[in-house]
Structure 1
Amino acid sequence: MKRKFTSRAVPSTRTPRLIALLALSLGAVAPVLAADGAELGSADALIRNLRQQHQGRQALSVQTADGTSLPVLVRDFFEQGGRVSVSGRHRDSEDSLFFLKGDGKSLRGFLVLHGQKKAWEYSTDARGVVSVKPVPLSRVYPDLDEDFQRSNRSTASLAQIAAAHPVYSPMALRQAPHIGAYNNQDVTKLESKPGSPYVFYLNTAAVMSGSTPLNGVTKENMYRAWQSVADQYSMLQLNVTTNKAVYDAAKASSVLRTGIINFVNQDGRSFAPVHSFGTTSAGTLYRNPASGFDYGYGIGMTGAHEVGHQMGMLHDGGGTGGEYYEGIPAYQWGPIMGNYWMGGSWTHQLFTWSKGEYSTASNQEDDLRIMTVDEAVPYMADDNPSGKPLALRTGGEINPADNWGQIERNTDTDVFTFSLASAGTLNLRVDPIEYLRMLDVDATLTTAAGVQVARSNLAVNRSAEFVNLNLAAGDYKLIIQGGAEGTPQNGFSKYSSLGYYAMKGTLSAGGTPSPIPLTSGVPLGNQSASTGTWTYYTIQVPAGSTKLVVNLSGSNGDADLFVGAGQKPTTSSYACKSDGSTSTETCTVNSPVAGTYYVAVQAYATYSGLSVKATASP
């Protein structure tokens, strides 16, 4: 037997509003007319109805007071752990969009008729009741502002930006997959965080012929477009990819952890539906080949901005820029959700996420909270939670291949330690190493007791530097964190000063080289040494390991391998050795005890380009 429903009376003096006509499943809450639109009943009831519609049993239909019918055709329905993701369209219009996500207590989504430029928003109130109401199209697509493109994206400004794209730091040596210049990668198979279940797919199929870009665009341009988006989200466990197979696998596992934006091979204003991450509803990224828009920097900035909308963020407005804040030229800083074009030619541009701290901000939403809490995409794990030794090569060289890290959160500090047996001199530079960077480096040198010796945060430069810094004998800590300039009101705070960095320099006279730490199964490349020198590494072997395998791989010179348990090995004292006549060596320790193992590489003859890998199994 069906439950008896009641509804509120509507005074005749009110203006026409939406009337909901719902083909309800048994026991669903009846729709009633609400002051701000039409109430569709409980979130649970709406989910049941949409599930049944997807199964071909019933349909959801909304009809306006003027007779406009809004029946929903569900294309994708995904449910996991009490949460749902629904995507589809208006039943009678191919040129339409519908998406909804949430759970039995809270749902959010939109229905859009593109041809009619009309939109309706679905939302849940404190009672758990879902209502639908008409909203401006810009509520769904914040970038549908035709005047913005005409006034701020002239051909001249595009050419200026194209010529002024960021310069890679010489320290960017592929410390992560998205770091460093293009090196002949297949641009249809790029991944920033391989293996992560959280995936955002840049669908470039329409602008590629196989693995070759159309319109004479270079593969390097396409690489930099992907790289720029990956940079802006590198603090998250989000795999930004151009590989459809990776996206399809992630989507099959959980649509709620995925997003997609489609490249389009024509001129136009890029746009994306807000809050569509976690659904199969896609954003649209125009490449504007006719206007010179085909370059990595411009499309990368636009892609990062539009993906931001899909993650749930609106525009950062204020000042003379209105809805699109133009940034602060004195600090070469601006919010990526503002008018990033105005700072596109800055030499040391810094585009970051924001929470509206600048004085004229019209939007105080917390971008990082939206991504990590509302959208539930987790931060990357801390790569340096308790400090690590500063890795010193022969002669006190501080090499960026050995000394790098990531500031994952604005509360993160990375500590590197070193000791001086006698007075010494430090020359060191710390660079952000991402292409479309967010990190402004702040470096502090202290004694082991925490007394500050020196600090550097170069003004409008993003790097830190110590030049000919004289140090007494003792123990030291180098502390790296996100920097800030000016004030939060006129400048920027460390709120989203996040990203990867690397260090290069020398610690001369009295420096005690610290062993270079290895990560199990991860090769450390680009190692070199001259005849007669020793280089030391360490690997932590966990309890229960069945064996430790160490490999050297090199094409020149003669590197010999020695492994020691708990102490540095020598040519006469070791747990394992391999000293053939080349730089390709393998050493295996069976049933190793848990603890620190030292890997020593002796240069019997000068070598370069050597790869060192240690793997503890299982």
Structure 2
Amino acid sequence: DPTLHLDLNGLDDETRDPAIFYMEETQILPSSPNADLPRRRAVVDVFKLHSRPGASKVLYLDFDGHVLTGTAWNDATHPTINAPPCDWDGAPNSFSTTEQSYIQEIWARVAEDYAPFDVDVTTEYVGGNEDFLLRSSSSDLQYGLRVLISPGIGSIWCSCGGLSYVGIYGAVGSYYQPSLVFPDMLSNGVKYIAEAASHEAGHAFGLSHDGTATVGYYTGQGSGETGWAPIMGVGYYQSLVQWSKGEYSGANNLEDDLAIIAARVAYRPDDAPDTPAAAAAQPLPPGAALSAAGVIDHPGDVDVFAFLAAAGPVSASATPAPPSPNLDLLLELLDPAGAVLASANPVGALAAALAFTLPAPGTYFLRVSAVGAGSPTVTGYSAYGSLGQYTLAATVPPPLVPGTTEAPPGSPTTTAASPRTTTAAAPKTTTAAPPSTTAARKGRKRSDSESHQASAAATGTAGASGAGGYVAAAAGGIGGASVLLAGLAAALRRRRQAGREAEAWAGARAEEGAAGLLGG
């Protein structure tokens, strides 16, 4: 691989071994790659984005400049490298709202690539110092990698889109950091910058290039929403870019990307039950509109959600996370015994939606899993790299209160909101500070030593409705007022009793569903 280089500097230092790094090939890219992006205002503080706050391992996307000294990137000619902030609009001392939206989208794309792992992809310089990144010793379990995204410095080394040393994530010290991405060498394209950031971080985790016998980088196969490419090849030209184990025709690299990354940062803990029996013990809150969110976090992961429903029509949809999903979804509806009633996995699309008429009241299940498409040796891909975040929404006939024809008190009557499809907002685990201006942010070019710094009305209405007969009686005579009051009180007592019965009934149905599945 002509892009692989040996760093000989370590040979003269007894404390370091020789290291290798990748110097990426130049790619021909469109000159206006962001023309089709929606012009939107970032809805959060883009310098406080977190994909998994609290995780002990970090990927820090650094957009606002950095000073490199004492690293493997420095030499006698460049003892200090002042890396400027990202700049899309020619105003280097501030980030416009459009630039902030670009940063948010780049972060969301990289966060989706690393969503299966217990690592926090963040734009925040936590604590105002390097402690959250620096691994001080082998016993230090909290550390990370800086991915420096900076224009104007790439020509020091190459005319390429990025550079990274290999296998240095988790190394003690920071000599071989950061991984570098040069946006000006990538036409300043949001997608290209994000793909390069994930790719260079992949090298830091120990990954090599995915190519063929004739090309160093595989550019992918297929087209449209399911056009596929490997992250460690070139993901600039396809929509679905995933981790790979070399299943495409002519692959020259059969390494297991997921296993190599997981050896340095673990898979994130599973966030949903895998079986109907487990899901039945924790059903979604009863009602007409249901929603949930989750992550398919490792190959073979399945998420199952239980819900209580009456007989009648049900519709459900599962949607992968925008703006750059890695997940191709299969959605299934299961009956109380766990048998499949309906399923959806449309050709050429990543989201899935289904509709079905439930034959009887009971505990039903929605099962979400990942799939591939076609043949990975032709134009398709396997389920191997089909991982990431999704949202689930469903409209169901709410369960009935025993002995009545009514839904449980408080059941929603509106349909579920459509899953997000275009927003680049943070995933469900993001913790974002309130919107704030960042006009002076670019001017703060820090060095390593610098600090970055209605119930009452509803009850009355329900009571009046339940006591309609008593209102009529009141209109008929002088004694109607006392009859009305007595009727209202009785109606309210019946409503409270119905609520208690509904809760007991829902619990009993969940227990019956779990017992039936466990017994089967």
Aligned to 2:310: 421
Given the alignment of the two structures, is residue 447 of structure 1 paired with residue 338 of structure 2, yes or no? no
Change (3 A) 1:559 1:238: farther
Partner of 2:465: none
Q: Secondary structure at the match of 1:248?
A: helix
Which one of the candidate residues 480, 494, 512 is aligned to 2:383? 494
Alpha carbons 1:391, 1:513 under 8 Å: kept: no
Q: Within the alignment, does 1:316 sit opposite 2:223 as a pair?
A: no
Paired residue secondary structure (2:393): strand
SS of alignment partner, residue 364 of structure 2: strand
Contact preservation (8 Å) 1:256, 1:278: no
Q: Secondary structure at the match of 1:381?
A: coil
Q: Secondary structure of 1:479's match?
A: strand
Higher strand share: 1
Code of the residue aligned with 1:363 in structure 2: it is: N
Matched residue, 2:101: 220
Higher RCO, Cα 8 Å, sep 6+: 2
SS at match of 1:226: helix
- Report the secondary structure of 2:134's partner residue: helix
TM-score, length-scaled by structure 1:
0.53
The residue number in structure 2 matching 1:251 is 134
| Cα pair distance change 1:513/1:438, threshold 3 Å | farther
Structure 1 residue 222, shift from structure 2 partner: 1.2
Q: CA offset at residue 421 of structure 1? A: 3.3
Conserved 8 A contact 2:286-2:307: no
Cross-structure match for 1:599: none
Q: Tell me, in whole angstroms, the C-alpha distance in 1 between the residues paired with 2:10 and 2:334.
A: 69
- 1:585 corresponds in structure 2 to none
Contiguous gaps of at least 5 residues in structure 1: 1-61, 75-99, 101-108, 111-120, 122-139, 169-180, 344-348, 515-531, 537-556, 562-568, 576-595, 597-618
The secondary structure found in structure 1 opposite 2:385 is coil
Gaps in structure 2 of 5+ consecutive residues = 1-6, 66-84, 155-159, 402-408, 414-453, 459-493, 501-506, 508-520
TM-score, normalised with respect to structure 2: 0.62
Structure 2 CA distance for aligned equivalents of residues 497 and 278 of structure 1: 26
2:34 aligned to 149, 162, 173, which one? 162
Cα deviation, residue 267, structure 1:
6.6
Does the 8 Å CA contact 1:188/1:211 hold for their aligned counterparts?
A: no
Deviations 1:529-571 (A, max 9, x none): xxx84579xxxxxxxxxxxxxxxxxxxx45899xxxxxxx985
Contact 2:231 2:243 in 1 (8 A): yes
Partner residue of 2:112 out of 225, 231, 238: 231
Amino acid at match of 1:325: Y
Kindly tell me: are residues 69 and 366 of structure 1, through their superposed partners in 2, closer, same or farther at Cα, counting changes over 3 Å? closer
Distance (Å, rounded) in 2 between the aligned partners of 1:448 and 1:69: 63
SS of 1:414's partner is strand
1:320-469 matches, within 5 Å, as: 322-330=215-223, 331-343=226-238, 349-373=239-263, 375=264, 377-385=265-273, 386-387=278-279, 391=284, 394=287, 396-398=288-290, 402-422=291-311, 424-467=312-355, 469=356
The CA distance in 1 between the partners of 2:257 and 2:400, in whole Å, is 42
Q: CA, structure 1 residues 419+248, in 2 after alignment: closer, same or farther (shift >3 Å)? A: same
Distance 1:337 1:505 in 2: 36
DSSP-derived class of the 2:241 partner: strand
Contact 2:320/2:389 (8 A) holds in 1: yes
1:212–1:219 contact (8 Å) kept in structure 2? no
Cα distance in 1 for residues equivalent to 2:10 and 2:217: 35
Corresponding residue for residue 512 of structure 1: 399
RMSD (CA atoms): 3.8
Residue 406 of structure 1 deviates from its aligned partner by 1.2
Structure having the higher helix fraction is 2
In structure 2, how many angstroms separate the alpha carbons of the residues matched to 1:201 and 1:234? Answer: 14
Q: Distance in 1 between matches of 2:122 and 2:150?
A: 17
Give the SS at the match of 1:485: coil
Amino acid at match of 2:180: T
* Matched-pair identity in %: 26
d(CA) in 1 for partners of 2:400, 2:191: 40
Matches within 5 A, 1:226-305: 226-245=107-126, 248-249=131-132, 251=134, 254=140, 257-266=143-152, 268=154, 269=160, 270-279=162-171, 280=174, 281-288=177-184, 292-293=187-188, 295-305=189-199
Aligned match of 1:71: 12
Q: Which moves more between the two structures, 498-507 or 204-213?
A: 204-213
